[in-house]
Amino acid sequence: MNSQTCSRVTLGALASTILVAGSVFASPLTLDNGAPVGDNQNSQTAGSNGPTLLQDVHLIQKLQRFDREKIPERVVHARGTGAHGEFIASADISELTMAKVFTPGQKTPVFVRFSSVVHGSHSPETLRDPRGFATKFYTADGNWDLVGNNFPTFFIRDAIKFPDMVHAFKPDPRTNLGNDARRFDFLSHLPEATRTLTLLYSNEGTPKSYRHMDGNSVHAYKFINAKGEASYVKFRWKTLQGQKNLDPGEVARIQGQDFSHMTNDLVAAIKRGDHPRWDLYIQTLKPEQMAALDYDPLDPTKIWPGVAERKIGQMVLNRNVENFYQETEQVTLAPSNLVPGIEPSEDRLLQGRLFSYADTQTYRVGANAMSLPVNRPKVAVNNGNQDGALNASRTVGSVNYEPSRKQPRPATESARYSQLPLSGTTQQQAIARTQNFKQAGELYRSYDAKNRRDLINSFGQSLAGSDDESKHIILSYLYKADAEYGKGVCKVAGGNLAKVKQLAARLED
């Protein structure tokens, strides 16, 4: 048995493989029931010219297992790669949160999955897209997943729009072809997308590698301290490799050579011992500071300009996966995996995500997804949840209910959810402080001349084929954000500037 076949065998067979001074003594090939295989090269047939026999259970099992090798790919973020590493907390933030992961000096194992969003699991990694940056922290209080993106903002602010947004971005259901005109038909109804669209069409939409990009929580979460006091917090991973992107010329060149350039880069760097690192920064706001801002700080289409950043730790990725499917494909990263001291904010997009990930994962991977090795917490799980397909847990005892005198499982008082004062009625209404364009203009003006030019060309070329009305509405958003930006894209997209100005004049800030 060589090392390649070795990686396919079960643990039992592996244990019986003995290595002596470089030579390998083979353990026999078996069926899944452990019985030895008689012939793995020839199916059992009825004589020399008859059909293959159904009683060849080895052949049938091999084909059945092959037929079931794939689980559904993620409905978004299907293309990705993962690695293991470690997070080391460096700052005492106990005044903000009781989360044990932030105890200074505490080392926490992590698994990170990077991804792109729209296209399928083998799509080119050069395609323009936001990138996922999702981290599972195996903390002493259970798993905490920080499921973020490289961009600090998102296109929409309410979960009810997410399925429509993804449908518009994905290929046309009739032709299965990408179609920018469909996207802009939809996006022209979303002025709040202007900042994130600017990021998408800038060179930040085509990062050089996963090692060279930052990560962001996008949403605010809530830190809760030991006294039960809340602060709102945004997280940001800052790459220590330097943030680097590809311009459109580099994208075309690299795509012609390697459609997995980001995975190749990460795997090769870790393999050669060049372990990538990110510092973790937070920005925090007290609940009483929120109302004074001229934008809504719980709106994920916004960053928090001018709010001080503080470094609280560092992450290193130092181990490639041993099996892509078992680790990267089966990992279930979900914003609902939270630990005491970290809670969701009232951000309407995040609230939808709290449901959606755990829901899709019980479908994509199964009811027992959280007991797979890559998803299992390092601390014991102790509750009455049970059974379900493919349950490999070793549950013992009779008490699968709570409360019980036979086997008490007390609740932890300090882990109670924090309290939020409320007033008013239920409602279905947009947020009040929309401020759709200001931060988009600031972002545009933060780019140097070359990056502005690349953005204008990329955006203009993509927008050019849209229907006249959608095109001019989008152009009015860009013009409202920054006149130079709007004019530039208008020229490349073949728009009518007078019409753009007219539409922009009608927009509120």
- CA distances to 5, 309, 320, 329, 437 from 276, rounded to whole Å, are 31, 22, 12, 21, 35
Smallest distance, Å, CB 405 to ligand HEM?
Answer: 39
If the CB atoms of residues 282 and 489 are measured against ligand HEM, the closer one turns out to be: 282
Read out DSSP for 119-159?
A: S-TTS-TTSS--EEEEEEEEEBTEEEEEEEESSSS-S-S-G
Q: Which two tokens stand for residue 60?
A: 């049938």
220 binds ligand HEM (CB under 6 A): no
Nearest residue (CB) to ligand HEM, 76 versus 503: 76
403: burial class by Cβ within 10 Å (0-12, 13-18, 19+)?
Answer: exposed
The dihedral formed by the CA atoms of 431, 437, 439 and 443, expressed in degrees to the nearest 10: 150
Contact between residue 134 and residue 337 where contact means Cβ atoms under 8 Å apart = no
The set of catalytic residues is 77, 149
Among 75, 226, 240, 268, the residue binding ligand HEM under the rule CB under 6 A is 75
Does residue 152 belong to the site contacting ligand HEM (CB under 6 A)? no
- Residues 344-383 touching ligand HEM, rule: CB under 6 A, are 349, 352-353, 356-357, 360-361, 364
Shortest Cβ 343–ligand HEM spacing (Å): 16
Stretch that binds ligand HEM, among 146-154, 193-201, 318-326, 383-391 (CB under 6 A): 146-154
Q: How far is the CB of 304 from ligand HEM (least distance, A)?
A: 15
Number of residues that bind ligand HEM (CB under 6 A): 28
Q: Per CB under 6 A, does 19 bind ligand HEM?
A: no
Report the SS3 class of residue 342.
Answer: strand
CB 331 within 8 A of CB 113: yes
Minimum Å gap between C-beta 131 and ligand HEM is 8
Binding segment toward ligand HEM, per CB under 6 A, in 145-153, 240-248, 319-327, 446-454: 145-153
What binding mask, one character per residue, do residues 247-286 give for ligand HEM by CB under 6 A, x or -? ----------------------------------------
Q: Which of 116, 135, 143, 149 binds ligand HEM (CB under 6 A)?
A: 149
Residue ranges in 109-128 that form contacts with ligand HEM under rule CB under 6 A: 113, 115
Q: Is 148 in the site for ligand HEM (CB under 6 A)?
A: yes
Query: Environment class of residue 264 by beta-carbon count within 10 Å: exposed (0-12), middle (13-18) or buried (19+)?
Result: middle
Does position 236 interact with ligand HEM (CB under 6 A)? The reply is no
- Our measurement of the distance from residue 155's CA atom to the centroid of its chain's CA atoms, rounded to an integer in Å, reads 15
Distance of alpha carbon 167 from alpha carbon 313, whole angstroms: 37
Strand partners, 50: none
Token code pair at residue 275: 């372990």
Among 202, 203, 332, 458, binds ligand HEM (CB under 6 A): 332
- Nearest residue to ligand HEM by CB is 132
Quote the least distance from Cβ 114 to ligand HEM, whole Å: 7
Query: Residue 183 in contact with residue 201, Cβ under 8 Å?
Result: no
Nearer of residues 303 and 489 to ligand HEM, judged by Cβ: 303
Query: Which of 96, 118, 147, 463 forms a contact with ligand HEM (CB under 6 A)?
Result: 147
What are the beta bridge partners of residue 153? none
Q: Does 237 bind ligand HEM (CB under 6 A)?
A: no
303 is an interface residue for ligand HEM by CB under 6 A: no
CB neighbourhood size of 6 (10 A): 15
Cis peptide before 403 (omega within 30 of 0): yes
User: Which residues are CB-neighbours of 63 under 8 A, at least 6 positions away?
Assistant: none
Residue 132 β-bridge partners: 115, 149
- Min separation Cβ 77 and ligand HEM, Å: 3
Is 333 a residue that touches ligand HEM (CB under 6 A)? yes
Where along the sequence are the contacts to ligand HEM (CB under 6 A)? 74-77, 80, 113, 115, 132, 134, 147-149, 154, 159, 162, 218, 300, 331-333, 349, 352-353, 356-357, 360-361, 364
